[in-house]
Amino acid sequence: MILEPQRESFSGLEDGIVYLNCAYMSPQLRSSLEAAERALSRRSKPWKISARDFFEEPEESRRLFARLVGGDPEGVALVPSASYGVAVAARNLVPGPGRRMLALEEEFPSSYYAWAELAAKTEARLETVPRPADHDWTSAVLERLDESVDVVVAPNCHWTDGSLVDLERVGEEARRAGAALVVDATQSLGAHPFDVRRVRPDFLVAAAYKWLLGPYGVAFLWVAEGRREGTPIEHNWINRAGSEDFSGLAGYAAGFQPGARRYDAGERSNFILLPMANAALRRLLEWGVENVSETLGALTDLVEDGASELGLHPTPRDRRVRHMLGLRLPRGGAAEIANRLAERGVFVSARGACLRVSPHLYNTREDVLRLLDELSWVLRPGPTRR
């Protein structure tokens, strides 16, 4: 279902500004800001914060995120960043010497460094799958996936241009090969449908501040049932068994809270950020991720058609997610073009060789036409370009 424009649901958007850059950072929802204001007011009166408040909001976060991904709340850990979640996965997946790990070429650094370090420690090999000329990442990954692979690191889409990875197919082949699947869904979750029951990742992580429309400093980690007895990367008081009883904390419990809670970061009960994140998750669930994806797809298709007429090379719609796309320039210079557009009040990103265009529900057809009009101007060669 195509949703009506939701500009009024967001705060801070200014007249004359065309913000097509949700893959960089989303504007805040009004409901999230209202939640933050209530939370700040409450935080200023610490005598009103009880022991149960350290647990109730985090448990609501688990329930909401589990609904979003089709999983169970017991599998959700609360972490501060995608890199933290990736580090948890790397701590608990140990490839053998000479064994292979696969990642995409030009993968986002936070989804790469932990595996490079793990490869060095274990004498495994981290291999990057070359970018396919036809944008078919799925086939490119599957061609290199065999029983010599212990770990596959893959997003739902490449962060530079939105090119799609079919994680259901990759997950199926990974299981057949005996490899673990680690998914960083930061650039898709909330705008592209995802179901852990179908993909069956070992670890799934997503930062909240992009397509989940939440605050910076919150991320979610979903852990498959067979991976919930592993080793956390930090040891804090609240992920230990019985931590609800503040009077007994000095007893130093040996065990952990059940499920994936052992992987929770310290100070996970953030009294400001979690209410903001939860408000955003509720709104996404109200809209429906499938509806968000379909609505944004109508806008990115319009971008694709118009950009092609301008001589650019967009990521084709049959090889990308619906919510963002990359535009490759025939003569390069993506960063310069993005800067020129920003000077004219149109905001996109330069990522790799692409202009990355990533709308959300606050955008309209008129915003896309404005982008195309400004692009046609700044792409003009020579002194006529302003």
pLDDT digit string, tens, across residues 94-141? 999 999 999 999 999 999 999 999 999 999 999 999 999 999 999 999
Mean pLDDT over 306-326 rounds to 97
Stretch 218-230: mean pLDDT: 99
Residue at token pair 């073009």 = 337
Q: What are the residues whose beta carbons fall under 8 Å from the beta carbon of 71, sequence distance 6 or more?
A: 196, 197, 222
Report residue 382's pLDDT band, with 50, 70 and 90 as the boundaries.
low
Res. 283 pLDDT band, cuts 50 70 90? very high
Nearest of 167, 163, 227 to residue 198 by alpha carbon: 167
The predicted model scores a pTM of 0.96
Question: Looking at residues 309-327, what average pLDDT do you find?
Answer: 97
Q: DSSP 3-state assignment of 356?
A: strand
Can you give the pLDDT at residue 381? 65
Strands 100-104 and 149-153: parallel
Beta bridge partners of 222: 76, 204
Q: pLDDT, tens digit, for every residue of 45-96?
A: 999 999 999 999 999 999 999 999 999 999 999 999 999 999 999 999 999 9
The tokens for 55 are 């647990």
In the CATH hierarchy, which top-level class contains the domain 7-30+288-380? alpha beta
Helix residue ranges, H only, the chain: 30-43, 53-69, 82-92, 113-122, 137-144, 167-177, 196-199, 273-287, 289-309, 334-343, 365-378
Instruction: Give the chain's count of helices (H) and strands (E).
Output: 11, 13
With the CA atoms of 175, 181, 186 and 190 taken in that order, what torsion angle do they form, in degrees rounded to the nearest 10?
20
d(CA 154, CA 173): 13
Written out in words, the top-level CATH class of the domain with range 32-286 is alpha beta
Q: Are 324 and 227 in contact (CB under 8 A)?
A: no
- Residues 287-302: pLDDT tens digits? 999 999 999 999 999 9
Q: Return the half-sphere exposure (C-beta side, CA atoms, 13 A cut-off) of residue 298.
A: 16
Would you say residue 32 has pLDDT above 70? yes
Q: What is the mean pLDDT of residues 153-181?
A: 98
Start and end residues for every CATH 3.90.1150.10 domain found in the chain: 7-30+288-380
Q: Is the pLDDT of residue 386 over 80?
A: no
- CATH 3.40.640.10 intervals, the chain: 32-286
Task: Compute the mean pLDDT over every residue in the chain, rounded to the nearest whole number.
Answer: 96
